[in-house]
Structure 1
Amino acid sequence: MSPELALLFEAALAAQARAYAPYSGFPVGAALRDADGAVHAGCNVENAAYPVGTCAEAGAIAAMAAAGGRGIAEMLVLGPGPGLVTPCGACRQRIREFAGPDVIIHVADGAGVRAAFTLATLLPESFGPENLGRHV
């Protein structure tokens, strides 16, 4: 694992440990490296009114935006269980707002990185800022 990926893994693991998941018992952490090299992390935060919970990826993106970042260079999502914990559909679109199709999304569990996908693989033929005349 490269040093940059190790930083993302450790940040996502630490965020996962702080997740608020009393209903699902499924804590998720996410970390991203922005275009300037800064690392931002987030965790899922559940709510008794299920639709208003927040995904870990959304938390990491919000942390990046709050710090002034506007571009995702790489991301890692870390969750439990035997299956790969990839971003949900809504988070794939959230990531797309700040990342181009070639950005790598790593998927991990507590033992390490299990897979890596380009955003284009996770969200093919996506609608993004450039469709509206803006560029990532």
Structure 2
Amino acid sequence: MLLGVVVAHASLHFPQISAVILNGGFMLPTRVQRLLEQHADSAALLDQLEVARSSAVTPLMFEHQLIDEAVAQRKHIGICVDNDRNNEPATGPRRISTDDSEVAVFVVPTNEEWQIARETLGVVST
């Protein structure tokens, strides 16, 4: 179907396409990629996008941020996680680091889907 859309866009007998939205995490065939590159100025399209940065930080994002900062500053993060504490059921905020860890690490359970929906609503409502 995508190939047909791109070919129609290149045709002189059809109106110009204003958008093609791809989702699903699949790879496009090489021929389709070439057609898209020939008929779309991706750099110009990216310049026109306004992407709001979310203030929500997932645990994985936080971990990567800490590691990146530690590597950049040639420092040790100083976190020692207690596996038993970390595997306890989430009944509320709790410490998951060991008592002798240089950094105290706490887990605060949250409904991430609700938080994302709330922030999305804030962005589209403005």
TM-score exceeds 0.5: no
Query: Which has the larger share of helix?
Result: 2
Q: TM-score range by the shorter chain?
A: under 0.3
Length-normalised TM-score, structure 2 = 0.27
Q: More strand by proportion, 1 or 2?
A: 1
The structure number with the bigger radius of gyration is 2
Normalised TM-score (structure 1):
0.25
